[in-house]
């Protein structure tokens, strides 16, 4: 998730939080299924996802389906696998993040929320 921006206006501090969002064009190019799109959104919010988290989002899928979805996300450089065996979790791939953020700013797909 993008870092917040800080702005001093003289009498107050304005913090702008940017919400990352994949454009439909990028999603189509990556050929993600609906589960994988939700995994992307989950990682943006929660910073990581485990197989248990994923199966909680989709209780009707098998462990093998979850495993194959994660392999695909890692192979497409969307997520990065951290750890081995039982401690495995997935985070946003550093390879995708700069590419996505640059495209999003150009295409106007970042959403700003001022507080």
**Which two tokens mark 41?**
């959104």
Q: pLDDT at position 23, please?
A: 61
Cβ burial of 36 (10 Å; 0-12, 13-18, 19+) is buried
Question: Distance (Å, rounded) from C-alpha 114 to C-alpha 1?
Answer: 16
Q: Which 3 state secondary structure label does DSSP give 72?
A: helix
Where would I find the H helices in 1-115? 24-30, 34-46, 51-57, 63-75, 96-107
Per-residue pLDDT of the chain (115 residues; tens, 9 = 90+): 556 778 888 888 887 765 555 566 776 778 889 999 899 889 988 999 999 999 999 999 998 999 999 999 999 888 999 998 888 999 988 876 554 544 444 333 334 444 4
**Which two tokens mark 48?**
């990581």
Domains and CATH numbers, the chain: 21-108 (1.10.10.10)
Q: What is the pTM of this model?
A: 0.65
Question: Distance (Å, rounded) from C-alpha 14 to C-alpha 31?
Answer: 38
């Amino acid at each position: 998730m993008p870092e917040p921006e800080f702005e001093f206006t003289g009498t107050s501090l304005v913090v702008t939080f940017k919400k990352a969002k994949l454009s439909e064009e990028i999603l189509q190019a990556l050929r993600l299924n609906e589960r994988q799109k939700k995994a992307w959104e989950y990682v943006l919010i929660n910073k990581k996802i485990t197989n248990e988290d994923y199966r909680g989002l989709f209780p009707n899928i098998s462990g093998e389906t979850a495993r194959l979805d994660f392999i695909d996300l890692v192979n497409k450089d969307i997520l990065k696998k951290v750890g081995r065996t039982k401690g495995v979790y997935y985070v946003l791939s550093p390879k995708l993040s700069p590419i996505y953020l640059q495209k999003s700013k150009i295409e106007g797909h970042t959403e700003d929320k001022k507080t």
